[in-house]
Structure 1
Amino acid sequence: MDEMEFQNLRELAEVLRALSNIVRLRILGLLATSEQPMYIMEIAKRLRLPYPLAHLYLTSLERLGLVESRYEIIGGDRPHVRRYYKLKEFCIVIIPELIKKLFEGEIYESD
């Protein structure tokens, strides 16, 4: 499992902000305990979330690299497309040296 890499303090803060939200952590927990990828409606029902909120949070978690998705065509009487999500393996290590490096990078970028 590779450590997540951050280009600047803003990226680090975005991931930490996402992980500081209890609902997003519950989504990650649900995906971590699921043996199969799950689609949004399953996640929303299991966690008793409004569908739009589940969609919003899953989109942000995917953008940050914490989950990944794939589309699947569902046949039958009403064919449709489902988007399945699964947890990505990730490791976040925050040490003073990382914060120093990101901070110094911002100082040099603003000069």
Structure 2
Amino acid sequence: MMRSTDSSAHATRPVLLLGAGSRPYREHLLQRISAVHPVVLMDSEPSTWATPYLRREVTVDLADTEALAVAVKQLISTPLAGAEVVLSSDEPEAVEADYRVIRALEREDLYRGGRP
């Protein structure tokens, strides 16, 4: 399921956020990031609080490598191409999901991280 909240005021490259995390700990960060970058959230459940800060939200099981790869490939054909940053919440499984998303973007030559 892909849900879009269009926010054409954002002119910078998008930020891909894996997992919204807990509102008390994450909302102020998401609010600040979304003020300068469009935010695409990928999470296992639809967000109950982050929607006002998102350009797009994708519901996908972050622990399912195959489903995550499919979701990333779907996003590659959207304005995510050239994503600025990939972030996650601090849960250990989210770090692994970050790695899988980065590798998928690198394979498509759409994310280079710190490399030229």
TM, length-normalised to structure 2: 0.30
Give the number of the structure whose alpha-carbon radius of gyration is greater. 1
Bigger helix fraction: 1
Question: Taking structure 1 as the reference length, what is the TM-score of the superposition?
Answer: 0.31
